[in-house]
Amino acid sequence: MENSTLIKLRRERGTDRSESDADPRPARVAGVTDRPARRGRPGHDVEAVLTAAVRLFNERGYDFTSMFDIAEALGITKSSVYHHISGKEQLLQIAMDRALDGLFEAADEVKALDAPAIERLEQLIRRSVLVLTDRLEFVTLLLRVRGNTAVEQRALLRRRDFDARVTELVRQARSEGDIRPDVDPATAARLLFGMVNSLTEWYRPSRGGAEKLADTVTALAFEGLRTRPENAPPTTRQE
Amino acid sequence: MENSTLIKLRRERGTDRSESDADPRPARVAGVTDRPARRGRPGHDVEAVLTAAVRLFNERGYDFTSMFDIAEALGITKSSVYHHISGKEQLLQIAMDRALDGLFEAADEVKALDAPAIERLEQLIRRSVLVLTDRLEFVTLLLRVRGNTAVEQRALLRRRDFDARVTELVRQARSEGDIRPDVDPATAARLLFGMVNSLTEWYRPSRGGAEKLADTVTALAFEGLRTRPENAPPTTRQE
């Protein structure tokens, strides 16, 4: 996630009318080559535009970030950005998918496991922590959208689908007798993901230890903080 | 928190230059009388201004809400708002204190308890849930400030103080042998409040059940979701 490498970018040939407005500061995002000749590797450039855009969306809010701001952050012209991307909404769409696809892949993986619901739920929480640490800026953005655009509406719908799958897993684990009967499945699902999602507020990739963090989250969620008298794994465990 | 009662407000006598711009819609916030004659109960009016302001700050962001927007939401003139409040920053200050004072009162109360650290920690989590459900809009705003102004900086410092107190309680409970030794106190404190703070995302006062919710949060945090073989309260409990 760090972009300590500042690279001087070669300016677009003078075909862009906003060339003269271009910010003379060196680009703050590495990886953009901004050369029309390099059409052979467009993915690389889209990735750099996406990284810069998502960072700005998180800092200033999607509504208050323009394509010009994104171009400026990259040290390239606005038309160069449009060379890679149809507009702000497409960037948001890619970012939302990046976050949500990760979570749904995790949900699909645990669905395929031949294990009791409590184990699948625990695996889902663990994998979700890893998705968040890996795609932190994308998930941060996902958690901030409020449904102001069609893309945001769609992201909120997918989030709701995901929540429903978590709730269903909690319900199943409870009916299998592995989750305390006094807990409401929807509330438990919200609290579990309240804990997981809080990572976007305080986790920093530089701290590392994503696996250890996933251990801590699942330990807290499933066994609780209190020392158990027996200090042994619970008897229902089947792994 | 509900303001379903729409009240028609008597318009200010024509002393305000912006009178002609006034929004003809009925006021959306109950409790503002907007009569200079009622100086005897200024607190009541400040409260209504505060309620409207905090709602707007949460909806649009503090930076994107003007005193005019607040006046408009109340169906009164901007100068009427200034009659009660020195400006936007004062409203933010009162709101931050409302949230933080609640949390610090809870911390002070549990500090005074003659009980093991684990019990004080559990009480603090429980009481924090009740503060959040009771002062939902204020805490929501608190969790969104990013330190752009002096007031926000001060709120962030107080939040950090509070977090340090939670971390210290976890550390103490761990050294008393009541919290699993493999858990890092700062991480546990963040996850606990990640769970508590998530209420601002999904709790609605109309749902009620704040006490039951506090039970669920503490049960999840301290005993975990898994059914315990013994199904009995842990042996370290002293209440």
Q: Evaluate whether A188 touches B227 at the Cβ level (below 8 Å).
A: no
Residues 6+ apart with CB under 8 A from B207: none
Rg (CA), chain B: 22
Dihedral pair phi/psi, residue B226, rounded to 5°? -65, 140
CA A213 vs. chain centroid, Å, equals: 16
Is residue B188 scored above 80 in pLDDT? yes
Q: Using 50, 70 and 90 to split pLDDT, how confident is the model at B7?
A: very low
**Cβ count near A38 (within 10 Å):** 11
Q: How far apart are the first and last CA of chain B?
A: 34
What's the pLDDT score for residue B86?
94
What's chain B's average pLDDT? 82
Is residue B139 scored above 90 in pLDDT? yes
Q: Do B222 and A219 touch (CB under 8 A)?
A: no
Q: Evaluate whether B204 touches B2 at the Cβ level (below 8 Å).
A: no
What's the pLDDT score for residue B230?
52
Cα(A160)–Cα(A47) distance, integer angstroms: 27
Is residue A197 scored above 60 in pLDDT? yes
ipTM surpasses 0.85 = no
Kindly report the nearest CA distance between residue B45 and chain A, in angstroms: 31
Kindly report the nearest CA distance between residue B171 and chain A, in angstroms: 12
Q: What is the pLDDT of residues B89-123, one digit of tens each?
A: 999 999 999 999 999 999 999 999 999 999 999 99
**For the residues A73-93, what does the mean pLDDT come to?**
94
A59: closest chain B residue by CA:
B146
Q: Do A191 and B188 touch (CB under 8 A)?
A: no
Is residue B37 scored above 70 in pLDDT? no
Chain A residues with CB inside 8 Å of B216's CB? Answer: 182-184, 187-188, 191
A113 versus B27: the higher-pLDDT residue is A113
What's the pLDDT score for residue A28?
43
Is residue B33 scored above 60 in pLDDT? no
Chain B residues bordering chain A (beta-carbon distance below 8 Å):
61, 64, 118, 170, 173, 177-184, 187-188, 190-199, 201-202, 213, 216-217, 219-230, 234-236
Q: Evaluate whether B106 touches B131 at the Cβ level (below 8 Å).
A: yes
What's chain A's average pLDDT? 82
**Which of B184, B225, B230 would best serve as a mutation to test chain A binding (most A beta carbons within 10 A)?**
B225
Is residue A133 scored above 70 in pLDDT? yes
Would you say the pTM of this structure is higher than 0.95?
A: no
Cα(B181)–Cα(A225) distance, integer angstroms: 9
Q: Using 50, 70 and 90 to split pLDDT, how confident is the model at A44?
A: low
Q: Which residue is listed with tokens 């408009």?
A: B72
Instruction: Please tell me the total number of residues recorded for chain A in this structure.
Output: 239
Q: Evaluate whether B159 touches A201 at the Cβ level (below 8 Å).
A: no
Cα(A84)–Cα(B152) distance, integer angstroms: 38
Q: Do B220 and A193 touch (CB under 8 A)?
A: no
Maximum Cα–Cα distance for chain A, whole Å?
A: 74
**Which of B162, B191, B223 would best serve as a mutation to test chain A binding (most A beta carbons within 10 A)?**
B191
Strand, coil or helix: A45: helix
Is residue A20 scored above 80 in pLDDT? no
Q: What is the pLDDT of residues A1-10, one digit of tens each?
A: 333 322 233 2
